[in-house]
Amino acid sequence: MSTTDTGDDQSDESVTDSRSVTDAFLDWRPGAPLSNLRARAALLARIRGFFAARGVLEVETPTLSASAVTDPHLCSLQSRYTGPGFPAGYTLYLQTSPEFAMKRLLAAGSGPIYQLGKAYRDGETGRLHNPEFTLLEWYRPGFDLSAMMDEVETLAAQVLGLTGRFERVSYRELFRRRLGIDPFETSVDALRDCARRHGLSRSAELPLTGPDAWLDLLLTHFIEPGLGVGTPCFVHDYPPSQAALARIRSGPCPVAERFELYIDGMEIANGYHELGDPEEQRIRFERDRERRRLDGLPDVMPDGRLLAALAHGLPDCAGVALGVDRLVMAALGTKSIGEVVAFTLGRA
Amino acid sequence: MTGSPLARGWLYSEATEFAHRSGACYCRGFRRWVVSDGPRADTHSNNNQEDIMAVYSTNEFKNGLKIMVDNDPCSIVDLDFVKPGKGQAFTRVKYRNLKTGRVNERTYKSGETLESADVMDTEMQYLYNDGEFWHFMLPETFEQYMVPMVALGDATQWLKGQETCIITLWNDAPLAVTPPNFVELVITETDPGVRGDTSGGGGKPATLETGAVVRVPLFVNQGETIKVDTRTGEYVSRVKT
């Protein structure tokens, strides 16, 4: 449990101090051993080989986009273009994932596609986080959630050299088994009490709003550390309030058609049976904006181009985003992202 | 007296009690415990110079940062940022309570704030003790600090006078004393040396002039001066005097 071994402890002051003396004192070396970077390159090559063999098209979409993400849990970094066409400057957002642009390609008839590239998230630095990270995202028209989990499992097993089936457990069953509560039916007070019983100090003061934040706390503190250790584990069928961009399967107990893959206690991948209904998408954008207003976060305008693409028609598809840095960590058994990324934030 | 930074501290009652008896007072203007010969000045009850406490948000947390947790000064010893991809971000903090030495863990929602603890390490010279308080001096200003025995802990067994120690001050009140890493002390009592033994294997207990007991090699004799590592309590070498 340390942010210091990511190599990010080189605070701005120390960098500035060194510079003011002489650049020779700057720590210019990579934070990751070169052997890890070679293993990383080999893993990237295996991923590309996997999709080439399956006829999935590699695409590239802009990392700089006119639209940001509305999700209140994600914060976009901003950049600014000034030049021909935009003499007064044009704000561009570094993408937190290539999801919207890739869905526009799907709506245009691309067929199955994948992208291996950088994504950016402001405010995220730690043992498992770097504000700039490598994301593998792919979409499969005609796949449902189960078929998508199968493909993620095949890919992860291949690149990690694993044999044997991964575990699959529903979000509800996971909380029942590990904490003895029903995450769909439990009140904020009961969730807080559950956290207290499992040893969380200051559970009474922690200013969390709503059940989902408490579920996130219980998951990250008391379930995640042992999740997927030994055998990777898929968690699927999330509460509708955590659907993000997944479809909701209606029924007596509606669930979001979403899954997460955990390996060695790390969240590795997040997949959806993708929401294609433009009206439902518009409602979710507005709900995100309302949440942002309540939380005092900056407002974000919905991506009109995504809505237009959905209105044109998104093929029924499943999609998944997989954190490549963490996959490399799992392959090498390293403890922090700084051991598999050449230059993390403190060295960038 | 509420509002005084000391009002929250365990030292306050002890210190004021002592102040009443001895004529020492806590001068807010100088933020120093000083011993005065005159009548006790009542400077700390009608003081409008409030301390402005710095506040740190989770983004400012780092190892070694001094923070207040449950009214106790603490030092951050470990940090972890946890966040589900599409969920709430948390900062998990491990911190050492500087009064008790205990390490605990807490979780903060990203963006929460903690009050800073006014803790600093200062080099001071040890002067003497009166059985109740250990007296130290800032060499530059000759200002004197009285440190209660509880803040010294094991440090008492290494101090005979003149040593430069690190005094950890919280709101300018002594919280802990770190003795020099090495001290040179005379052996006041030990069994007679065994002739010819120079190996040092095994060893024997020796009582030093401060009362500390350390294991020394068999060839070391009573009356000799030895060098001791205070961090481990181990004999280092003989010192030629």
Mutation to test the A interface, candidates B67, B69, B88, B113, most A Cβ within 10 Å: B88
Confidence at residue A20, expressed as pLDDT on a 0 to 100 scale: 53
pLDDT given at position B195: 58
**Nearest-angstrom CA–CA distance, B75 and B45:** 30
Taking the CA atoms of residue B120, residue B123, residue B129 and residue B130 in that order, the dihedral angle to the nearest 10 degrees is -50
pLDDT band at A300 (very low <50, low <70, confident <90, very high): very high
CATH number of A21-166+231-347: 3.30.930.10
- With beta carbons under 8 A apart, name residues in chain A contacting B114: none
B74 contact residues in A (CB cutoff 8 A): none
Closest C-alpha to B129, from B151, B161, B97:
B161
A201–B87: do the CB atoms touch at under 8 Å? no
Contact residues for A47 (Cβ-Cβ < 8 A; gap 6+): A116, A136, A155, A159, A324
pLDDT for A1 equals 47
**H-run or E-run covering A147:** helix A145-160
The pLDDT of A36-57, averaged and rounded, is 98
How far is B186 from A287, CA to CA, in rounded Å? 76
- Residue A121 pLDDT greater than 60, yes or no: yes
The number of helix segments (H) and strand segments (E) in chain B equals 2, 18
The DSSP line for A98-142 is SHHHHHHHHHTT--SEEEEEEEE-TT--BTTB-SEEEEEEEEEET
The three-state secondary structure class of B132 is coil
Entry field: residues in chain B: 241
Inform me whether the pLDDT recorded for B20 exceeds 70. no
For residues A32-59, give the mean pLDDT: 98
CA distance A273 to A316: 8
Which of A242-246, A292-296, B155-159, B192-196 shows the lowest per-residue confidence on average (mean pLDDT)? B192-196
pLDDT class of B149 with cuts at 50, 70, 90: confident
Q: Residue B17 pLDDT more than 60?
A: no
Mean pLDDT for the stretch of residues A157-164: 94
DSSP-based three-state secondary structure for A102 = helix
Q: CA of A113, closest CA in chain B: separation in Å?
A: 22
What's residue B49's pLDDT? Answer: 41
Query: Is pLDDT above 60 for A139?
Result: yes
CB–CB contact B88 A213 (8 Å): yes
Q: Which residue of A has its CA nearest to B77?
A: A2
* Predicted local confidence at residue B197, as pLDDT: 57
Q: Binning pLDDT at 50, 70 and 90, where does residue B7 land?
A: very low
Q: Which one-letter amino acid corresponds to residue B128?
A: Y
Q: Give B-chain residues touching A242 at CB under 8 angstroms.
A: 86-87
What per-residue confidence (pLDDT) applies to B154? 87
Does B64 reach chain A within 8 Å, measured CB to CB?
no
Q: Which residues contact B159 (CB under 8 A, 6 or more apart)?
A: B126, B134, B152, B165, B179, B183, B210
Structural contact between residues A133 and A147, judged by C-beta atoms closer than 8 angstroms: no
Contacts of A205-211 with CB under 8 Å at 24 or more apart are: A206/B107, A206/B108, A206/B109, A207/B109, A207/B112, A208/B88, A208/B109, A209/A294, A209/A295, A211/A186, A211/A187, A211/A241
pLDDT tier, A15 (very low <50, low <70, confident <90, very high otherwise): very low
Single-letter residue type at B209: E
CA dist A239 and A191 (Å) reads 15
d(CA B54, CA B63) in angstroms, rounded, equals: 17
Lowest-confidence pick of B22-26, B78-82, B179-183, B217-221: B22-26
Supply the DSSP string of B139-152, one letter for each residue: TTT--EEEEEHHHH
Nearest Cα to Cα of residue A54 among A146, A133, A117, A148: A148
Least reliable range by pLDDT among A37-51, A247-261, B168-182: B168-182
Q: Do B92 and A1 touch (CB under 8 A)?
A: yes
Contact B94 A267 (CB under 8 A): no
- The mean pLDDT of B98-116, rounded to a whole number, is 93
Q: Is the dihedral of CA A10, A11, A12, A15 positive or negative?
A: negative
pLDDT tens for each residue of B29-63: 333 343 333 333 333 333 444 456 789 999 999 99
Query: Residue B184 pLDDT > 50, yes or no?
Result: yes
Residue A211 pLDDT greater than 90, yes or no: yes
What average pLDDT does the segment A183-210 reach?
93
Confidence of residue B27 (pLDDT cuts 50, 70, 90): very low
User: What's the pLDDT score for residue A25?
Assistant: 73
- Direct distance between the N- and C-terminal alpha carbons of chain A, in angstroms, rounded to an integer: 22
Q: What is the mean pLDDT of residues B198-220?
A: 86
Averaged confidence pLDDT in chain B = 80
| Burial of B105 per CB tally in 10 Å (0-12, 13-18, 19+) | middle
Is the pLDDT reported for residue B13 higher than 60? no
**Contact (CB, 8 A) for A80 and A90:** yes
- Whether B110 and chain A come into contact, CB under 8 Å, resolves to yes
In the prediction, which pLDDT does B201 show? 61
pLDDT at site B163: 93
What token pair was written down for A28? 């210019």
More confidently predicted of A207 and A5:
A207
Portion 301-330 of A in contact with B at CB < 8 A? 321, 323
Place of tokens 């402001």: A122
The packing angle between helices A34-53 and A145-160, to 10°, is 140
Say what the pLDDT of residue B196 is.
57
Alpha carbon A143 to its chain's center:
20
| pLDDT computed for residue B8 by the predictor | 32
The chain-wide mean pLDDT, for chain A, equals 93
pLDDT, tens only, A269-289:
999 999 999 999 999 999 999
Sole residue written with tokens 């030895």: B226
Report the predicted TM-score, pTM, of the whole model to 2 decimal places: 0.78
Question: What is the average per-residue pLDDT within B184-201?
Answer: 76
Q: What is the pLDDT of residues A75-112, one digit of tens each?
A: 999 999 999 999 999 999 999 999 999 999 999 999 99
Q: Range with the lowest mean pLDDT among A9-18, A111-120, B223-232?
A: A9-18
Residue that has been written with the tokens 């009608």 in this structure: B46
Q: Which amino acid is at B239?
A: V
**pLDDT band at B70; cut points 50, 70, 90:** very high
